[in-house]
């Protein structure tokens, strides 16, 4: 096979399209652009990224899709500091099934004197209707939670922006199902929002914290994100503690919301409903996650490389495909 003929990379919406992703079987290749200038602090790089998104929006409204999580709050405070126009949208599940998450998001908005747009969905009906598989197919998404994010992006008039996460190293103390000193990277499923928007001819940002290569590298240079040996102390015993420490290192502003400590994805109560309906604690996974993983693949290994020329990356793809 001529490596120049391979065209298996997908471009993730980012500045100068510096992020590329490819999935071969269960192996994912993530290509990351190199910085083009000296790095500022993560917060300052995030402010610059917000301005770049606003410029690229080309007069369309920038809409921050807000949850009650720490990543979302830091995205919001970044856009406030950038002093550019934006709106906020929050997705409520009927019957308060994500109120433990969205109540915090609404409190964050009140704190900053922002009136968010509230959209509502009957989340149980969504999963049980054909719409769920339609959105999964439209985004090649193997995560039932991210499918809902694609639905939200589709409801936005303007440019939807989601917080995402930063790259970081970790040990078992911080992230219990990973080996020591491994790097936490987004998986193929996490880029479903980008795929959905691109297939519909729209611009949006599924990973604000990965929008520029400088922002990604800044977290690794200026914070403990790249120093996993420093995590093992009595003050950092959970992933939430760890993320707070990283954001403080990076210069971000955020408040303390005790209920956020126990939030994982915001879908906890949704899973409880399906567990009760089916008398099976794993019903949500069996009904929605596992079938999508069969259809669209599941990342088990991620290989990270700094972006080079297309010929080099095509050869990497071929090597991955040849590995048994």
Residue 196 to residue 131: CA distance in whole angstroms: 14
For the segment 24-44, what is each residue's pLDDT rounded down to a tens digit? Answer: 778 888 888 889 899 999 999
From 20-34, 61-75, 168-182, 299-313, the region with the lowest mean pLDDT: 168-182
* DSSP at 74: H
DSSP letters, 82-132, are HT---EEEEEEEGGGTTHHHHHHHHHHHHHTT---EEEEE-HHHHHHSHHH
Q: What is the pTM of this model?
A: 0.88
184 Cα distance to chain centroid: 12
Domains recognised in the chain with CATH numbers:
36-299 (3.40.50)
Phi, psi of 147 (to 5 degrees): -55, -40
pLDDT of the residue at 310: 59
Spatial CA neighbour of 321 closest among 19, 5, 34: 5
pLDDT of the residue at 144: 97
For the segment 257-316, what is each residue's pLDDT rounded down to a tens digit? Answer: 887 776 678 899 999 999 999 999 999 999 999 999 999 988 877 777 776 555 665 666
Residue 111 to residue 123: CA distance in whole angstroms: 28
For the segment 79-89, what is each residue's pLDDT rounded down to a tens digit? Answer: 999 999 999 99
Q: pLDDT band at 3, cuts 50/70/90?
A: very low
More confident residue, 227 or 16: 16
From 69-78, 131-140, 232-241, 244-253, the region with the lowest mean pLDDT: 232-241
Above 80 in pLDDT, residue 107? yes
């Amino acid at each position: 096979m001529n490596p120049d003929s391979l065209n298996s990379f997908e471009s993730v919406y980012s500045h100068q399209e510096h992020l590329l992703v490819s999935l071969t079987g269960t192996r994912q290749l993530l290509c990351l652009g190199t910085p083009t200038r000296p790095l500022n602090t993560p917060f300052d790089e995030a402010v610059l990224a917000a301005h770049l998104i606003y410029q690229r929006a080309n007069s369309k409204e920038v809409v921050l899709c807000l949850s009650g999580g720490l990543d979302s709050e830091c995205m919001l405070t970044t856009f406030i500091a950038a002093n550019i126009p934006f709106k906020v949208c929050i997705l409520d599940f009927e019957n308060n099934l994500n109120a433990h998450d969205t109540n915090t998001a609404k409190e964050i908005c009140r704190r900053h004197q922002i009136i968010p747009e509230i959209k509502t969905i009957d989340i149980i009906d969504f999963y049980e209707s054909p719409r769920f598989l339609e959105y999964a197919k439209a985004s090649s998404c193997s995560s039932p939670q991210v499918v809902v994010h694609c639905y939200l992006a589709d409801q936005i008039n303007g440019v939807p922006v989601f917080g995402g996460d930063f790259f970081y190293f970790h040990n078992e103390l911080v992230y219990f199902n990973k080996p020591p000193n491994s790097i936490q990277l987004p998986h193929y499923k996490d880029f479903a929002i980008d795929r959905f928007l691109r297939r519909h001819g729209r611009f949006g940002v599924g990973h604000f914290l990965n929008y520029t290569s400088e922002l990604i590298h800044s977290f690794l240079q200026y914070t403990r994100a790249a120093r996993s040996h420093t995590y093992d102390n009595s003050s950092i015993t959970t992933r939430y503690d760890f993320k707070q420490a990283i954001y403080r290192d990076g210069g971000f502003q955020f408040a303390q919301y005790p209920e956020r400590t126990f939030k994982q994805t915001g879908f906890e109560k949704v899973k409880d409903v399906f567990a009760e309906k089916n008398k099976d604690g794993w019903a949500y996974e069996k009904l929605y996650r596992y079938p999508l993983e069969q259809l669209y693949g599941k990342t088990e290994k991620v290989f990270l490389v700094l972006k080079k020329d297309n010929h080099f990356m095509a050869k990497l793809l071929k090597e991955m495909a040849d590995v048994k």
